[in-house]
């Protein structure tokens, strides 16, 4: 796979994609059609569209699907150790993020939801075309209690954790007033959602996975501030106890949720909330964790968490919970971003795994009809593939073998098609 071209391979304002089989991810069907794109938007889908004066791509024998959305990434996480990231110079973190963004786009993800790290600067640079990469929906820093999943200090460190301008993933806020201030500050900086750490995690040095974090009052304060700004709260939570109290406090998306229970499923349905499972992280730890210093005891535990997580997704899927694709990979493991498709494919039909990375993710972002569909009136974010992923999810899991072109905002930003490359 070649790297995404930058500046974009094509800057044409209008483009016609001819003869491809277009996947309707909502209906789960494909039909042969031409797609007319004007100024970044899909304006017409039909047969034998007039192509005079328009740049044209021949997609016959190929499949056109919506650009993928990864609902949980960390674009600044060039290392799996967040302490390394937060002590690096912002200029260095930026350079690494630019690489991560370019590679993400080359894996077919034209939009991402960043769950701590990316900020208004990266989003702006992408939007203005200074950086090649996915569209970014960001939260800025994640709100964490002292000693929570966003607090990377070791027990022997007593310095006041970084100010809100630094490159760490978390900001420490304790108490209702501080949580309100921190949430308002992220909203001031354009956050699309507020991330809170509602349970312990793996990558923070002093907390326990089975701990709950933040009081109900603090959780509700974050939700109140987000809702006041027409935003929502995403909560990091593993155990059923943490998941359920976050959902009751009004959190809209649960990140991970591996150990959810039947009550969690009822709460998801009752509140129309979203689950972003991020199983590939555990898969990657299982595959490569030994190289990253995981002890054999921990390595065996990862297997259990992965199996439990798969079972949780199977149950959530059967119950009709909104599921969103999320990879949550850090450092060198980010290259496995598409493996989540293979894992989802084990517990749900291929089309549902595709919906998790398209229509359902777009709904969580508040962009239904605009992202995640190939439809008139949608943004022209499209992939051209050499096979139909709704028939075999491996097409997206092994995307490097099947991706022909990535079109973002109506421009070809990546292609392996020699005909397209030589026609310009
Ligand atoms: Zn994460």
Cα 174 vs. chain centroid, distance in angstroms?
28
Q: Are 277 and 309 in contact (CB under 8 A)?
A: yes
**How many angstroms does the Cα of residue 327 sit away from the middle of ligand 1?**
8
**How many angstroms does the Cα of residue 114 sit away from the middle of ligand 1?**
8
- The CA-CA-CA angle for residues 276, 389, 319, to 5°, reads 40
54 and 186 part of one domain? no
**How many angstroms does the Cα of residue 116 sit away from the middle of ligand 1?**
7
**How many angstroms does the Cα of residue 174 sit away from the middle of ligand 1?**
21
Sequence-separated (6 or more) residues with CB below 8 Å from residue 91? none
Q: Which two tokens stand for residue 419?
A: 């005909």
**How many angstroms does the Cα of residue 233 sit away from the middle of ligand 1?**
14
Looking at the domain assignment, is residue 120 inside a domain? yes
Q: Which two tokens stand for residue 364?
A: 């969580």
Looking at the domain assignment, is residue 361 inside a domain? no
169 and 306 part of one domain? yes
Q: Supply the DSSP symbol for 131.
A: S
Number of domains in the chain: 2
**How many angstroms does the Cα of residue 406 sit away from the middle of ligand 1?**
26
**How many angstroms does the Cα of residue 73 sit away from the middle of ligand 1?**
6
**What's residue 4's pLDDT?**
43
**How many angstroms does the Cα of residue 194 sit away from the middle of ligand 1?**
13
47 and 123 part of one domain? no
**How many angstroms does the Cα of residue 115 sit away from the middle of ligand 1?**
6
180 and 299 part of one domain? yes
For residue 376, give its domain range. Answer: 14-66+372-423
- Could you read off the pLDDT tens digit of each residue along the chain, which spans 424 residues? 344 444 444 556 899 999 999 999 999 999 999 999 999 999 999 998 887 778 899 999 999 999 999 999 999 999 888 888 888 999 999 999 999 999 999 999 999 999 999 999 999 999 999 999 999 999 999 999 998 888 888 888 877 776 555 678 889 999 999 999 999 999 999 999 999 999 987 777 788 878 899 999 999 999 999 999 999 999 999 999 999 999 999 999 999 998 999 999 999 999 999 999 999 988 988 888 777 666 777 677 777 778 889 999 999 999 999 999 999 998 889 999 999 999 999 999 999 999 999 999 999 999 999 999 999 999 999 999 999 999 999 999 999 999 999 999 999 999 998 777 666 5
**How many angstroms does the Cα of residue 52 sit away from the middle of ligand 1?**
47
The two beta strands, 14-24 and 55-58, are parallel
**How many angstroms does the Cα of residue 279 sit away from the middle of ligand 1?**
11
Q: How far apart are CA 356 and CA 9, in angstroms?
A: 29
172 and 36 part of one domain? no
72 and 178 part of one domain? yes
**How many angstroms does the Cα of residue 74 sit away from the middle of ligand 1?**
6
**How many angstroms does the Cα of residue 201 sit away from the middle of ligand 1?**
9
- The CA-CA-CA angle for residues 90, 96, 170, to 5°, reads 50
The two beta strands, 63-66 and 382-385, are antiparallel
**What's residue 163's pLDDT?**
57
Cα distances from 4 to residues 96, 98, 387, in angstroms, run 16, 12, 21
Q: How far apart are CA 371 and CA 137, in angstroms?
A: 12
Looking at the domain assignment, is residue 300 inside a domain? yes
DSSP 3-state of 264:
helix
Last residue of a domain, one of 292, 322, 337: 337
**CATH code where residue 192 lies:** 3.20.20.140
**How many angstroms does the Cα of residue 226 sit away from the middle of ligand 1?**
19
Q: Which residue has the tokens 């973002």?
A: 408
């Amino acid at each position: 796979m070649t790297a995404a071209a930058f500046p974009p391979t094509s800057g044409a304002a209008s483009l016609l994609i001819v003869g491809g089989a277009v996947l309707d991810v909502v209906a789960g069907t494909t039909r042969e059609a031409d797609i007319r794109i004007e100024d970044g938007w899909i304006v017409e889908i039909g047969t034998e569209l007039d192509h005079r004066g328009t740049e044209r791509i021949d997609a016959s024998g190929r499949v056109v699907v919506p650009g993928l959305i990864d609902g949980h990434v960390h674009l600044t996480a060039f290392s799996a150790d967040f302490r390394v990231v937060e002590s690096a110079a912002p200029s260095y973190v930026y350079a690494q993020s630019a690489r991560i963004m370019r590679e993400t786009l080359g894996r077919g993800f034209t939009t991402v939801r960043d769950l701590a790290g990316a900020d208004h600067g990266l989003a702006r640079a992408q939007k203005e075309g200074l950086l090649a990469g996915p569209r970014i929906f960001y939260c800025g820093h994640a709100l964490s209690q002292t000693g929570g999943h966003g607090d990377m200090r070791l027990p022997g460190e007593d310095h006041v954790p970084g100010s809100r301008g630094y490159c760490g993933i978390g900001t420490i806020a304790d108490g209702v007033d501080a949580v309100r201030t921190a949430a308002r500050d992220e909203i001031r900086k354009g956050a699309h959602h507020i991330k809170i750490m509602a349970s312990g995690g793996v990558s923070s040095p002093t907390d326990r996975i089975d701990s709950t974090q933040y009081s109900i009052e603090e959780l509700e304060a974050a939700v109140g501030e987000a809702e006041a700004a027409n935003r929502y709260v995403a909560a990091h939570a593993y155990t059923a106890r943490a998941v359920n109290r976050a959902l009751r406090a009004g959190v809209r998306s649960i990140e991970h949720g591996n150990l959810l229970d039947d009550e969690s499923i009822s709460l998801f349905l009752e509140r129309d909330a979203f689950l972003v499972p991020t199983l590939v992280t555990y898969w990657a730890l299982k595959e490569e964790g030994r190289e990253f210093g995981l002890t054999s005891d921990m390595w065996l535990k990862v297997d259990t968490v992965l199996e439990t997580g798969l079972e949780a997704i199977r149950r959530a899927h059967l119950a009709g919970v909104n599921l969103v694709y999320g990879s949550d990979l850090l450092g060198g493991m980010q290259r496995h971003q598409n493996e989540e498709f293979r894992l989802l494919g084990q517990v749900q039909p291929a089309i549902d795994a595709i919906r998790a990375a398209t229509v359902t993710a777009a709904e969580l972002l508040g962009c239904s009809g605009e992202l995640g569909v190939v439809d008139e009136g949608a943004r022209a974010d499209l992939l051209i593939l050499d096979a139909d992923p709704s028939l075999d999810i491996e097409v997206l899991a092994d995307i490097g073998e099947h991706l022909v072109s990535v079109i973002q905002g109506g421009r070809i930003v990546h292609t392996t098609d020699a005909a397209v490359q030589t026609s310009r």
